[in-house]
């Protein structure tokens, strides 16, 4: 591990030297690549430098303790050594996490799809609430949300909604949301006061670039139609909505959020790229079934990942056995505690696979 850290430290200094050179800004692509590499390396280098300083402090403190005769000074040195050893243990754990292989999608934007499942209108109402949850969470992170398509029902629910969340690290935090979300409560549509169980499915897909997934336009069929729902006079009176059918896979995508047919077409292609990339990822997950089972639920869409129990005011994530009694805050987008715990559990599982003794 420490040989690798030394190599990364040398590389970081090389990158910083190149960034400080007079000619780097002339090549903007090179400049952006170096800035990205510097940003990725900086947390590792900072932690490693702190580790090395701690190591030196322990070495110096131990040498001083061997020669120090004053009792009060010896006690102070012992306390400082104890504190430094605790710090170096914490830094070593932090470095192991920082050196874990990084998911190449972590810095990407995400396309989110929410579909109502079992439960009829109640499932659609819950789908609309989960949509709002993610919008509120995105607002808290200062991310941007663009709705792609939605199929609403008259009482405020959504049978289906897809939207793009753009922001630094969006995929790294939201990728654990894929799966079946279950709600237990007395529905607004139920007059008997009985608790019902309904489900929705959430799919989180990284937004991918043109060069990540090549699409043969001969495999695509575009149909245009008049948009429905809110959007203004122009949207509802022109054939601006687009339905894209990918013939080889049978994937169908509708986009009607934009007033421009061309913009809706571009959005539909963006979603198609994400879906094709996701299909390939799912195939890889299936081929590595044992690995997927040891991960914290970033693969199988049929997995029931979370229950929202309104009568008890609790939200339970079944993958990490975590229950939080703050359902109102969570439904308002305060899911950071869930996100942090899922990330920590995933890192712990990866560390355990790399070193069973960890």
More reliable by pLDDT, 76 or 282: 76
How far apart, in whole angstroms, are the C-alpha atoms of residue 13 and residue 8? 9
Mean pLDDT across the stretch 221-243? 68
How far apart, in whole angstroms, are the C-alpha atoms of residue 6 and residue 16? 15
Mean pLDDT across the stretch 220-234? 68
- Taking only the tens place, the pLDDT of each residue in 171-190 is 999 999 999 999 999 887 66
Q: What is the pLDDT of residue 181?
A: 96
The radius of gyration of the chain from alpha carbons, rounded to an integer in Å, stands at 26
Model confidence at 161, pLDDT cuts 50, 70, 90, reads very high
Mean pLDDT across the stretch 145-154? 88
Mean pLDDT across the stretch 312-338? 96
- Tell me the helices (H) and strands (E) count for the chain, helix number first: 10, 11
Cα 285 to Cα 17, 141, 299, distances in angstroms: 40, 29, 6
With a pLDDT cut of 90, the percent of the chain lying above it is 36
Q: What is the pLDDT of residue 61?
A: 87
- Taking only the tens place, the pLDDT of each residue in 271-284 is 888 888 888 877 77
More reliable by pLDDT, 234 or 36: 36
- The structure tokens 């006079």 sit at 233
Task: Return contacts of 342-347, CB within 8 angstroms, 24+ apart.
Answer: 342/176, 342/296, 342/297, 342/317, 343/172, 343/173, 343/176, 345/296, 345/319, 345/320, 346/176, 346/295, 346/296, 346/298, 347/97, 347/100
pLDDT at 289 over 60: no
Model confidence at 287, pLDDT cuts 50, 70, 90, reads low
How far apart, in whole angstroms, are the C-alpha atoms of residue 232 and residue 260? 12
Q: What is the pLDDT of residue 190?
A: 67
- Taking only the tens place, the pLDDT of each residue in 42-56 is 989 999 899 999 999
How far apart, in whole angstroms, are the C-alpha atoms of residue 309 and residue 80? 48
How far apart, in whole angstroms, are the C-alpha atoms of residue 120 and residue 25? 57
Mean pLDDT across the stretch 284-299? 53
Question: Which of 110, 144, 129 is CA-nearest to residue 277?
Answer: 110
pLDDT at 224 over 90: no
Residues counted in the chain:
358
More reliable by pLDDT, 356 or 134: 134
Model confidence at 259, pLDDT cuts 50, 70, 90, reads confident
Mean pLDDT across the stretch 303-324? 94
Q: Which of 30-39, 143-152, 298-307 has the lowest mean pLDDT?
A: 298-307
pLDDT at 309 over 90: yes
Question: Which of 282, 297, 285 is CA-nearest to residue 249?
Answer: 282
Query: Domains, the chain, ranges and CATH?
Result: 2-98 (1.20.58), 110-348 (3.30.70.1660)
Query: Which stretches of 288-311 are DSSP H helices?
Result: 289-294
Question: Which of 242, 245, 241 is CA-nearest to residue 221?
Answer: 245
How far apart, in whole angstroms, are the C-alpha atoms of residue 31 and residue 4? 25
Q: What is the pLDDT of residue 286?
A: 65
Q: What is the pLDDT of residue 136?
A: 97
More reliable by pLDDT, 358 or 268: 268
pLDDT at 29 over 90: no
Model confidence at 302, pLDDT cuts 50, 70, 90, reads low
pTM above 0.85, yes or no: no
Model confidence at 231, pLDDT cuts 50, 70, 90, reads very low
| SS3 category, 299 | coil
Q: What is the pLDDT of residue 98?
A: 86
Mean pLDDT across the stretch 73-78? 89
More reliable by pLDDT, 169 or 135: 135
Which tokens belong to 322?
């975590």
Q: Which of 65-74, 232-241, 254-263 has the lowest mean pLDDT?
A: 232-241
Which tokens belong to 65?
């303790």
DSSP strands (E only) in the chain? 110-116, 144-152, 158-166, 179-185, 196-206, 220-225, 241-246, 251-255, 304-309, 314-317, 322-324
Question: Which of 318, 274, 279, 270 is CA-nearest to residue 299?
Answer: 279
Q: What is the pLDDT of residue 262?
A: 86
Q: Which of 59-73, 132-146, 263-277, 286-300 has the highest mean pLDDT?
A: 132-146
């Amino acid at each position: 591990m420490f040989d690798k850290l030394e190599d990364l430290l040398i590389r970081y200094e090389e990158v910083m030297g190149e960034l400080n050179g007079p000619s780097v800004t002339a090549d903007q692509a090179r400049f952006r690549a170096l800035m990205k590499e510097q940003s990725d390396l900086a947390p590792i280098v900072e932690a490693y430098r702190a580790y090395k300083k701690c190591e030196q402090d322990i070495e110096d403190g131990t040498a001083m303790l061997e020669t120090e005769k004053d009792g009060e000074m010896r006690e102070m040195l012992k306390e400082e050594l104890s504190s430094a050893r605790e710090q170096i243990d914490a830094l070593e754990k932090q470095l192991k996490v920082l050196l874990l292989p990084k998911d190449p999608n972590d810095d990407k934007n995400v396309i989110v799809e929410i579909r109502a499942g079992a439960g009829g209108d109640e499932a659609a109402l819950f789908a609309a609430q989960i949509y709002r949850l993610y919008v509120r969470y995105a607002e808290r992170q200062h991310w941007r949300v663009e709705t792609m398509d939605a199929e609403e029902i008259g009482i405020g629910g959504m049978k289906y909604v897809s939207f793009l969340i753009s922001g630094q690290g969006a995929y790294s935090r939201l990728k654990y949301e894929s799966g079946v979300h279950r709600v237990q409560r007395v529905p607004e549509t139920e007059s008997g006061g009985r608790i019902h169980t309904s489900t929705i499915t959430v799919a989180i897909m990284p937004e991918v670039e043109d060069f990540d997934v090549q699409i043969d336009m001969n495999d695509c069929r575009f149909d245009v139609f008049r948009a429905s729902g809110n959007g203004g006079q122009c949207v509802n009176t022109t054939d601006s909505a687009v339905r894209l059918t990918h013939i080889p896979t049978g994937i169908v995508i509708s986009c009607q959020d934009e007033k421009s047919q061309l913009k809706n077409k571009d959005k539909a292609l963006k979603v198609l790229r994400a879906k094709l990339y996701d299909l390939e990822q799912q195939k890889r997950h299936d081929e590595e079934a044992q690995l997927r089972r040891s991960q914290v639920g970033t693969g199988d869409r049929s997995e029931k990942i979370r229950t929202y129990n309104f009568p008890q005011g609790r939200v339970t994530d079944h993958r990490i056995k975590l229950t939080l009694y703050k359902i109102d805050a969570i439904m308002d987008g305060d899911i950071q505690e869930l996100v942090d715990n899922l990330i920590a559990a995933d890192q712990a599982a990866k560390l355990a696979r790399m070193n069973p003794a960890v």
